[in-house]
Structure 1
Amino acid sequence: MNRFEGKTVLVTGGNSGIGLAAAQAFAAEGARVVITGRDEASLATARASLGHDAIAIRNVAGTVAAARKLAEHLKNEDVRLDAMFVNAGVGTFAPFSEIDERAWDETFAINVKGPYFQIQALVPLFNDGASIVLNGSINAHIGMPASSVYAASKAALASLAKTLSAELLPRGVRVNVVSPGPVATPLHAKLGLVDEAAAGLKAQIPLGRFGKASEVAATVLLLASQEAGFIVGTEIVIDGGMSQL
């Protein structure tokens, strides 16, 4: 399929994991892809896998200044957006008693403040009928210990999808959320998820395995496509039944 032929798509945090899988899937279906990320080396590697017209921009999500800088960069490149996958985020996991103000501020800055003001800055660059997909988490729906700050930040995104949909629908811009469960990505290693902990987490998934980044990417593409033109302000959970059973 070439559902995104002639379209331009932005994927924040598109240099690894779910973001990279989504960026590659968009490119495979004809899109010109713009990715952002923190690490220049992984950005360069990711860009090389996305076609000659892909754009990779180093951008540290979480501040209004960074959001405006990205929007200005794209404006100067005459980029108009048909879809955006807001994937850049951070996972902070610690017992409630150990969470301090720094952890709270960093998590909400990157996971909520960054997306909010990034979308605000980019609205003038969206084509009519564009689609925005936010990357949430099933942690917003289950009471998993040590996930209080992360879960709250992802719950905020689910709420944001509904309110932004109401405000942006006059432009025909739809906003939806994908909320993955445990997915096999480099984030697990960064979080120190050792074999024993991974086995315990896997045991909570009725399907008996971690999800694949490609499975989340497929849902992102569906929501971003015209096939999902009647889906607005909706959250799709992708967790192998973990939050349902």
Structure 2
Amino acid sequence: IAPEASVIDLSHHIPPQDVAAARFVLWHSYRYFPEGSIFVCVVDPGVGSDRAIMAVQTRQHTYLAPDNGLLDYVLAETTPRQILRIENPKVMLPTISRTFHGRDIFAPAAAHLAAGFPFTQLGPLHRYQVPPSPFVQARPQAALTARVLHADHFGNLITNCLLPPDWQGRVRVGGRSLLMLRTYGEVEVGHALALRGSHGLLELSIREGNAAQVFRLGPGDPIEVLGS
């Protein structure tokens, strides 16, 4: 369909059916892709049901994804120009299975778009409520409750709390108070710390350990953030 298209495998390490993990990985990755990129986002526990397959066009990118919250973080900070429901059989394979829409609908629709198929002909308009931003901003001398967004491969707990580069303060979790540090190497192996991670978000870590297991926390769990 589009033999000259460049295909980048953004991730095949999302845990099965983990929409929250996919939502976070897409959010921290999309901004690094050039204008005109098409994202095929298939973490789709509802495959074969009446859930919509959305095509979302923003100023820079196009996203194909099930309407299951996967795009929430991206669309909270990018303005969609148009949101359609993919229903045009011209962009699908001739035979559609009930269990593999990634192969039968998502991938061929993306290929047709890459080959020049008009976005507006994918299907009818789709009603989608753009969610509020999930992120909170840490402020000096102010306390707030952050929440875990994601536990990464190393067990680091990444929260929704945006930190300025020079923020000083403490984090309280599981009855323990953690000081903000800059690097993992500032504590001994096995010790806990809080730091500003590569996404500009507050993270809780165990040096050479797994904070998610030690603190027994995961997405949605609260973290108390105390300003300096």
Q: What TM-score results when the alignment is normalised by the length of structure 2? A: 0.30
Larger Rg: 2
Instruction: Give the number of the structure whose residues are more often strand, by fraction.
Output: 2
Structure 1 length as normaliser, TM-score? 0.29
The structure with the largest helix share of the pair is: 1
